[in-house]
Amino acid sequence: MSPDPIIRPDTLLVADLHPSPNIEPRKAGYTPSILILHYTGLPTVERALDVLSRPDCKVSCHYVIDEDGRIIQMVAEDTRAWHAGVSYWGGETDINSASIGIEIQNPGHMLGYPDFPPVQMRAVAALSRDITRRHGIAPHRVLAHSDVAPGRKIDPGEKFDWAWLAGEGVGHWVAPAPIEDGDEDIPPGSRQRDVDRARALLAAYGYKVDPKGALDPELQTVLRAFQLHFRQERCDGQLDRSTLDTLSRLGVPSLKDDRIA
């Protein structure tokens, strides 16, 4: 933890600075290659800034975006913030060393979960574009907190407009397959080939999932995380035809795609 968390803005988009002492150096050899989007889950931005800068809370992030679009920087981008917690993506477990974290002010599911205002979403898009371009972060490595911590986290949730954000040049997106009448879930223990296929596709994209196994609660937790990002109409963790179709069209990122020019 730095005794003197004085920071300077990393981008001209920053309106205010609110340094957090909850920081440390990135692990040797790490630079930002992932962008993680969160919601604060707290009633006001003032409360969020307080929690994210209190040493006893042991959490922080690089940026907070208020409902009015104001961007506040808390941690320098070259520094490791404490935002991802126990997490995983594509074989990496120190997500804090590998990422930049943006907290979007929204009280979250426990406090009503309102829509994200358009002015706030425009600020999310502008800041995310700026970060991904400067650090060469590939679209498929713009992720939800729920992607890297399935089950433990569900933010930014099913109301966050990933499709719109991709249209603004941030993140990877495929249109979800529609949920048709009679789109039945694949029952546990049956249609094992489809279950194996889903496991392989989830793992290849980056999710933490065993390559073999039944349609068990652990897999359903990861499926729900995928749905929260890519099939938001119904996030129930079930492997139905819509989910499998959407997952099949997601594409598997190759190692050469980890960075963009």
Q: What residues act catalytically? A: 103
Contacts of 66 (CB under 8 A, 6+ apart): 45, 72, 105, 120
Say which residue the tokens 């249209």 belong to: 167
3-class DSSP state for residue 244?
A: helix
Q: Tell whether omega for the bond before 156 is within 30 degrees of 0, i.e. cis.
A: yes
3-class DSSP state for residue 150?
A: strand
On whether the CB atoms of residues 199 and 216 are closer than 8 A, the answer is: no
Work out the burial of residue 56: count CB atoms within 10 Å of its CB; fewer than 13 is exposed, 13-18 middle, 19 or more buried: exposed
Contacts of 255 (CB under 8 A, 6+ apart): none
Q: Cβ–Cβ contacts within 10 Å for residue 8, how many?
A: 8
Cα 23 to Cα 175: distance, rounded to the nearest angstrom: 38
Tokens standing for 153?
Answer: 């986290």
The alpha carbon dihedral of 88, 94, 96, 99 has a sign of negative
